[in-house]
């Protein structure tokens, strides 16, 4: 069961990488669901020590996918900003509550 979950996680991370590289949002969602499913199995069944090295490799792949995803998000935000779309920036206020600020830009006079 654990070995199958590790294999499923590996396949999901590879699918996620392909989806990010090809800008395929639907495939990215599918890969993310598969990844979360495999991780849930692993949370309930701790892997044996002999699989820890492979899990570290998968962790590195997951981190690389996260970096690629962050880059894609920056590219989309940049494009939307230059197209004049309103963007909501969120963060935490001084009191610890989540706050957001909307900003927009007009591209012409209408």
The answer to whether position 63 is within a domain reads yes
The domain total for the chain is 1
Angle, CA of 19, 40 and 16, to the nearest 5°: 5
The answer to whether residue 110 sits within a structural domain is no
- Asked if residue 19 is part of any domain, the answer here is yes
DSSP states of 45-88 as a string? SPPPGGGHHHHHHHHHHHHHHHHHHHHHHHHHHHHHHHTT--EE
Range of the domain at 15: 2-103
Residue 41 included in any domain: yes
Q: Are 58 and 50 in contact (CB under 8 A)?
A: no
Residue 6 lies in a domain: yes
CA neighbor of 18 nearest in space, from 32, 8, 6, 5: 32
Indicate whether 30 belongs to any domain. Answer: yes
Distance CA 14, CA 40 (A): 18
Q: What is the pTM of this model?
A: 0.72
Residue pLDDT tens, the chain, 110 long: 999 999 999 999 999 999 999 989 999 999 999 999 999 999 999 899 999 999 999 999 999 999 999 998 899 889 888 888 765 666 666 666 666 555 555 555 55
Residue 108 lies in a domain: no
**Residue 109 domain-assigned (yes or no):** no
């Amino acid at each position: 069961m654990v070995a199958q979950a590790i294999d499923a996680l590996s396949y999901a991370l590879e699918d996620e990488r392909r989806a990010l590289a090809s800008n395929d949002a639907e495939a990215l969602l599918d890969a993310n669901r598969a990844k979360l499913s495999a991780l849930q199995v692993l949370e309930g069944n701790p892997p044996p020590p002999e699989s820890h090295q492979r899990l570290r490799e998968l962790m590195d792949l997951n981190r690389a996918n996260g970096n690629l995803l962050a880059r894609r998000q920056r590219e989309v935000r940049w494009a939307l900003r230059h197209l004049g779309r309103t963007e909501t920036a969120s963060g935490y206020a001084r009191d610890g509550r989540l706050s957001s600020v909307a900003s927009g830009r007009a591209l012409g006079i209408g």
